[in-house]
């Protein structure tokens, strides 16, 4: 993956790391009554596939859509808000769904998690907007429709533009 020559750190790390990985795999197989290896393997693979084929593409699509829809000056605020809110929503999902209630343990999930999640998300969004407004006031005014840096065009998609280097053209990937 990396072009540099593999040093001793790579081989020492690989030897030690793979010894532990194999120890873990052996444990999974040895305690198969508890670990149910085939089902566990399905969960391992499903987790990675869910990220690679669902979560990451959805995030990419959402980013593209928002980049088209949201003016450049607000993009950072929106990104910041979503980066904080998305993990909160993911974390709270099993609580909002109330899966623990099936165990009939009165001390499990004692709150109204839907209301609490909405409250936390609203607080994050409000705080993020307040920070953006305050920093916009502190910054010197910019040309209308342009980003504060003066280079980006607000509201237009510039997802993978190249940097402008001092010498002129951007360097291409080797």
Partner 1 sequence: MMRTADRLRRRVPVRLQTRLGDAFGTWTTDPDLPLRQHAYQSPLRDERLAAWLGATLGILFTTCFVTGLYSHLHQHPQSWLPLPARPAGLFRFTQGLHVACGIASLPVLLAKLWVVWPRFVSFPPGRRIADAIERLGVLALVTGGIFQVFSGIANIAQWYPWHFSFTAAHYWTAWITIGAVIAHVGAKAPITARAVRRRKHRPALADADPVLGTTAEGVHDGLDRRGFLVSVAAASGVLTLVTVGQTLPGLRRLALLAPRDPADRPVNRSARNAGVIAATTSPDYRLRIEGRVSTPLTFTLAQLQALPAHTADLPVACVEGWSYSARWTGVRLTDLVAMAGAPADAEVRVESLEEHSPYRTSFLNRFQAHDRDTLLATHLDGRPLSDDHGYPLRLIAPGRPGVNQTKWVTKVVVL
Query: Segment 107-126, which members bind partner 1 (CB under 8 A)?
Result: 107-111, 113, 116-117, 119-120, 124
Write the CB contacts of 131 (distance below 8 Å, at least 6 apart in sequence).
77
- Binding track over 30-69 against partner 1, x by CB under 8 A: -x--xxx--xx--xxx-xx-xxx--xx--x-------x--
Are 91 and 117 in contact by the 8 Å Cβ rule? The answer is no
User: Binder to partner 1 among 138, 139, 162, 169 (CB under 8 A)?
Assistant: 162
- Residue with smaller CB distance to partner 1, 138 or 174: 174
Residue 172 Cβ, how far from partner 1 at the closest point, in Å? 8
Distance in angstroms (rounded) separating the CA atoms of residues 88 and 14: 35
Phi, psi of 165 (to 5 degrees): -90, 160
User: Binder to partner 1 among 65, 99, 129, 133 (CB under 8 A)?
Assistant: 99
141 counts as binding partner 1 under rule CB under 8 A: no
Range list of H helices, the chain: 8-30, 32-35, 37-49, 56-69, 72-97, 113-138
132 counts as binding partner 1 under rule CB under 8 A: no
- H or E stretch at 160: none
């Amino acid at each position: 993956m990396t072009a540099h020559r593999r040093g001793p750190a790579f081989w020492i790390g690989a030897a030690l790391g793979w010894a532990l990985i194999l120890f873990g795999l052996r444990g999974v197989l040895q305690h198969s009554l508890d670990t149910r290896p085939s089902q566990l393997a399905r969960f391992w693979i499903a987790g990675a596939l869910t990220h690679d084929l669902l979560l990451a593409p959805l995030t990419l699509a959402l980013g593209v859509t928002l980049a088209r829809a949201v003016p450049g000056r607000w993009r950072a605020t929106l990104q910041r808000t979503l980066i904080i809110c998305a993990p909160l929503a993911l974390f709270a999902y099993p609580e909002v769904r109330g899966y623990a209630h099936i165990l009939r343990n009165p001390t499990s999930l004692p709150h109204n998690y839907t209301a609490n999640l909405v409250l936390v998300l609203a607080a994050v969004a409000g705080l993020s907007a307040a920070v953006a407004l305050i920093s916009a006031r502190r910054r010197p005014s910019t040309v209308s429709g342009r980003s504060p840096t003066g280079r980006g065009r607000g509201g237009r998609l510039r997802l993978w533009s190249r940097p402008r280097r001092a010498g002129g053209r951007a360097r291409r990937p080797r």
